[in-house]
């Protein structure tokens, strides 16, 4: 084929190339890249001109400037208005993680309980749980948060008329108060006893397992372990003369002093997120258990395993494989939903750096990028961990 004929057939050649799948796919990808880069370039240009117009620059230096505001809830590290914005962000992040972790724990317990109760052959219980699940799932989580917070704001009494259990535990519209333990000299022995008990229990469990492998004789290791872990420190406690007292919250002025307290914002956010998420977890658990075929538990009963052992050794390990992937995404949802904290004034990362710091410094770009990246990192860590856990639990096939 001479070059002349190729040039003459130029349109034909392009058509031929377009009809070739490989060339076409390369062409489409190049076009996509071009469009994308033009788009990004335009946005970059817009951002630059807009920032210049507003007389702003783009830098994260503000993170080291004093924040100038106070954070009402700082259980882990102290914070004062003279501390930096970065420290405020860290305090917020820790508050977010606190809600996420406690929420996940409560939601799992509630979710597993309700999922099993849903399968109960008790008609009344399973219907009641079903009604609760359907109602809770179909109402926005933000409304649940407002609702629980509203109970604190509008229903619970002021500290002077606090609801109390024998004047030691108090529930008021300012939060939940209970006595905090005060450790006196000699409590170190109790800690030491607890440590010893744990070491002894671990050794005992290892020995019992080996013993069972060798002889087939099974010790009630759970009961024995619990007895050791609770009994030994308790015994030491009384022998050393009860070196602990309780600091009971007492009312002083308009509020309680002493004892341990948790703020209504924290309770409302954690509890609302937990019970909302637990409804989704309950459905996941229910379908996971139903996915294990009935033959499995029949087989295990035929082998002579007790009902509890069947559940623990046969049904649950198989159900977990079905449960874990959707469970992971519920945990992620709970963590992301904790950002709703800002609606009731709980100081999480969105409320600190993405809220007040943004208002004070006027740096929308930097603070939002900071918050978005933080959440992305949290999400990636959670999903990586759940993937690892899922891999560990999955069936090892040939």
Partner 1 sequence: MSETVEQEFAPGNHPDLPPPVSTTGIIGWSRKNLFSSPLNTILTLLTLLLLWKSLPPLFEWAVVNSISSADSRAQCWNQMSSPGAGACWAFIKDRVQLFTYGFYPHELRWRVNISFLLLALALVPVLYEKLPHRKYGLLYSAAFPFIAGWLLVGGFGLESVDTDQFGGILLTLILGVTGISFSLPIGVALALGRQSNMPVLRILCVLFIEFIRGVPLITLLFVASTMLNYFLPPGTVYALLVRVLIMVTLFASAYMAEVIRGGLQAISKGQHEAGDSLGLTYWQAHRLIILPQAMKISIPGIVSNFIGLYKDTTLVLIIGMMDILGLGNASLADAKWAGLAMEVYIFVALYFFISCFSMSRYSLYLEKKLHTGH
Binding site for partner 1 (CB under 8 A): 25, 28-29, 32-33, 36, 42-43, 46-47, 49-51, 53, 120-125, 128, 134-135, 137-143, 146-147, 150, 153-155, 336-337, 339-340, 342-343, 350, 354, 358, 364-365, 368, 371-372, 375-376, 379-380
Q: Whole-angstrom Cα distance, residue 44 to residue 390?
A: 41
Residue pair 342/355 in contact by the 8 Å Cβ criterion: yes
Take residue 145 and report the two structure tokens written for it: 């948060």
Residue placing its CB nearer to partner 1 in the complex, 10 or 22: 22
Residue 153 Cβ, how far from partner 1 at the closest point, in Å? 7
How many angstroms separate the CA atoms of 104 and 94, rounded? 15
User: To the nearest whole angstrom, how small is the minimum distance from the Cβ of residue 318 to partner 1?
Assistant: 22
Asked if residues 128 and 116 have their Cβ atoms less than 8 Å apart, the reply is no
Of the two residues 93 and 358, which places its CB atom closer to partner 1 in the complex? Answer: 358
Smallest gap from residue 314 Cβ to partner 1 (A)? 21
Q: How near is the Cβ of 46 to partner 1 at its closest, in Å?
A: 6
- What's the closest the beta carbon of residue 58 comes to partner 1, in angstroms? 10
Determine which helix (DSSP H) or strand (DSSP E) holds 183, and give its type and residue range.
strand 180-183
| Dihedral of the alpha carbons of 296, 326, 145, 368, in degrees to the nearest 10 | 160
Residue with tokens 């004929």: 5
DSSP state of 217: -
Q: In degrees, to the nearest 5, what angle opens at C-alpha 56 toward C-alphas 53 and 60? A: 150
Cβ of residue 210: shortest distance to partner 1, in angstroms? 35
Give the shortest CB-26-to-partner 1 separation in angstroms.
Answer: 9
Which is closer to partner 1, CB of 248 or CB of 386? Answer: 386
Q: Which is closer to partner 1, CB of 7 or CB of 121?
A: 121
2 vs 121 by CB, closer to partner 1: 121
**CB nearer to partner 1: pick between 153 and 244:** 153
* Bridge partners (DSSP) listed for residue 180: 247
Q: Which residues pair with 244 in a beta bridge?
A: 183
Between residues 54 and 206, which has the closer beta carbon with respect to partner 1?
54
- Helical H runs in the chain? 3-8, 10-19, 21-53, 85-118, 123-137, 141-150, 187-215, 221-239, 264-291, 294-302, 307-309, 316-337, 349-351, 358-361, 364-393
């Amino acid at each position: 084929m001479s070059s002349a004929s190729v040039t003459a057939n130029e349109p034909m050649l392009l058509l031929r190339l377009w009809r070739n799948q490989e060339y076409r796919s390369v062409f489409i990808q190049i076009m996509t890249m071009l469009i994308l880069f033009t788009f990004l370039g335009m946005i970059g240009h817009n951002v630059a001109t807009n920032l210049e117009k507003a007389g702003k620059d783009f830098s994260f230096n503000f993170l080291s400037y004093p924040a100038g505001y106070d954070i009402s809830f700082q259980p882990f590290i102290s914070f004062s208005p003279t501390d930096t914005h970065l420290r405020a962000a860290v305090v917020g992040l820790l508050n977010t993680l606190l809600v996420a972790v406690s929420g996940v724990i409560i939601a799992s317990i509630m979710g597993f309980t309700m999922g099993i109760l849903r399968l109960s052959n008790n008609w009344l219980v399973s219907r009641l749980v079903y009604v609760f699940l359907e109602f809770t799932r179909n109402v926005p989580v933000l409304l649940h948060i407002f609702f629980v917070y509203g109970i604190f704001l509008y229903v619970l009494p002021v500290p002077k008329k606090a609801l109390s259990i024998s004047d030691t535990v108090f529930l008021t519209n300012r939060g939940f108060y209970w006595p905090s333990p005060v450790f006196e000299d000699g409590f170190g022995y109790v800690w030491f006893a607890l440590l010893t008990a744990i070491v002894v229990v671990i050794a005992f469990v290892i020995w019992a397992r080996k013993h069972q492998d060798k002889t087939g004789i099974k010790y009630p290791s759970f009961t024995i372990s619990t007895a050791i872990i609770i009994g030994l420190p308790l015994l030491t406690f009384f022998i050393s003369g009860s070196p602990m007292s309780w600091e009971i919250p007492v009312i002083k002025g308009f509020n309680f002093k002493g004892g341990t307290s948790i703020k209504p914002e924290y309770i409302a956010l954690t509890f609302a997120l937990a019970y909302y998420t637990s409804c989704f977890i309950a459905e996941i658990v229910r379908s996971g258990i139903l996915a294990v075929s009935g033959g499995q538990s029949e087989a295990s009963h035929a082998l002579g395993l007790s009902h509890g052992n069947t559940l623990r050794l046969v049904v649950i390990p198989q159900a977990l494989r079905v449960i874990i992937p959707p469970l992971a995404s519920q945990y992620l949802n709970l963590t992301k939903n904790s950002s709703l904290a800002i609606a009731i004034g709980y100081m999480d990362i969105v409320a600190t750096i993405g809220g007040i710091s943004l208002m004070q410094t006027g740096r929308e770009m930097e603070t939002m990028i900071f918050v978005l990246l933080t959440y992305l990192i949290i999400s990636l860590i959670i999903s990586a961990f759940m993937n690892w856990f899922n891999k560990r639990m999955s069936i090892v096939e040939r």
